[in-house]
Amino acid sequence: MTRFAIVGGGAWGTALGCLYARAGHRTVLYARDAETVAGINRDQRNARYLPGIELPDGLTATSDPAEAMDRAEIVLFVVPAQSLSVAIAELGGLVPPDALAVLCAKGIERGTGRFASQILTEAMPGQPLAVLSGPSFAADVARGLPTAVTIAAGEPALADRAARLLSTETFRCYAAGDVVGVEAGGALKNVLALAAGAVVGRGLGASAQAAIITRGFVELRRLGAALGGRPETLTGLSGLGDLVLTCSSPQSRNFAYGLALGRGDDRSGLKLAEGVFTAEIAARLAKQHGIDAPIIATVAAILSGDRDVDAAVQSLLARPLKREFD
């Protein structure tokens, strides 16, 4: 039995809580909001973030961070990328120094361009860390459906150990050494899923959707490599694997946000779509690194109101013809 603490009572934190509590680990989830804590402890439900799923008895929640961190061996940080700095500033001091911190957010911090691993390393130098990413919808994982993900750490031995500790009978973790490549794939696929959703929502067809996924993958590979990721990582579960999942299913909140964009629907009540916060900084990073990333730039332009979806499609189609591979 391992002692897990989970920071964040949203969909993904609750799903991972289900997974490890069911596997027999001591699993305590820290959530800020009292309603979420009460719902998990009293009704075995997280009606707001993970409706329709009965949570296991072994999963408990608390709004007391010290209680959650008490002798924790693994601490999963499962808050949105833009909230991670604040969460670490509030809770970092309570994390036992030898606990493995596992970063689960998929995004880039807007103001600084940092990935989660950089945020954690700067705030908590010396803390062992791993990054968990890959194709994995919270509801699927909470239901115990088969899932395969990547777990990356700088040291191979730590990555192997993390993969062993975080795998269960249904949740298969592949160890990797390329932390940046894994984080880049997870962040960029969300931006590209907005584009894929918008294309489908606008009624442009399955062929256009496939074109966006494929050309989007070219951008993910180019920018991911410029940021320091290895080519093979970007074609793995956390890159191509998650891109395919997120760009093809309305279960994805990013794809669903894109659908609403394409249809011209109101987007104010939609769930978290990390790509909305990552698009602009991703476009800026691409520019800084001299990377041609027209789909990412177009998503950023649509979100900032500089372009509508029809004009964006026209300008993508009007780009000069070029070789597919150069």
Ligand X SMILES: NC(=O)C1=CN([C@@H]2O[C@H](COP(=O)(O)OP(=O)(O)OC[C@H]3O[C@@H](n4cnc5c(N)ncnc54)[C@H](O)[C@@H]3O)[C@@H](O)[C@H]2O)C=CC1
Ligand Y SMILES: O=C(CO)COP(=O)(O)O
Q: Which two tokens stand for residue 140?
A: 């699927």
d(CA 125, CA 104): 18
Ordered strands of the 171-176 beta sheet: 59-62, 26-30, 3-7, 74-77, 100-103, 129-133, 147-152, 171-176
- Residue 13 found at the interface with ligand X (CB under 6 A): yes
- With CB atoms as reference, the residue minimizing the distance to ligand X is 10
Active-site residue list: 189
Residues 10, 17, 65, 135: which binds ligand Y (CB under 6 A)? 135
Is 9 marked as binding a ligand?
A: yes
- Residue 191 found at the interface with ligand Y (CB under 6 A): no
Q: Which among 50-58, 73-81, 207-215, 240-248 is the span making contact with ligand Y, rule CB under 6 A? A: 240-248
Binding to ligand X in span 60-79, by CB under 6 A = 78-79
Q: Which two tokens stand for residue 283?
A: 């476009």
Q: Which of 227, 223, 200, 217 is nearest to 309 (CA)?
A: 200
Q: Which two tokens stand for residue 190?
A: 């969300």
Instruction: Provide, rounded to whole angstroms, the least separation between the CB of residue 129 and ligand X.
Output: 16
Instruction: Write b or e for each residue in 259-286: b if 16 or more Cβ atoms lie within 10 A of its Cβ, otherwise e.
Output: bbbbbeeeeeeeebbbbbbbbbbbbbbb
- Residue 27 found at the interface with ligand Y (CB under 6 A): no
Binding track, positions 80-109, relative to ligand Y; x by CB under 6 A: --------------------------x---
d(CA 141, CA 22): 11
Instruction: Provide, rounded to whole angstroms, the least separation between the CB of residue 31 and ligand X.
Output: 6
Using only C-alpha atoms, the chain has a radius of gyration, in whole angstroms, of 19
Angle at 105 between CA 102 and CA 111, to 5 degrees: 120
Residues 62, 147, 150, 246: which binds ligand Y (CB under 6 A)? 246
298 binds, among ligand Y, ligand X, none (CB under 5 to 8 A by kind): none
246 binds, among ligand Y, ligand X, none (CB under 5 to 8 A by kind): ligand Y
Looking up tokens 């709004």, which residue turns up? 63
Q: What is the largest distance, in Å, between two alpha-carbon atoms of the chain? A: 60
- Residue 245 found at the interface with ligand Y (CB under 6 A): yes
Binding track, positions 249-288, relative to ligand X; x by CB under 6 A: -----------------------x-x--------------
- Where does this chain bind ligand X (CB under 6 A)? 7-13, 31-33, 49, 78-81, 83, 86-87, 104-107, 136-138, 272, 274
Binding site, annotated residues for sn-glycerol 3-phosphate: 106, 134, 136, 189, 242, 252-254
Binding site, annotated residues for substrate: 106, 253-254
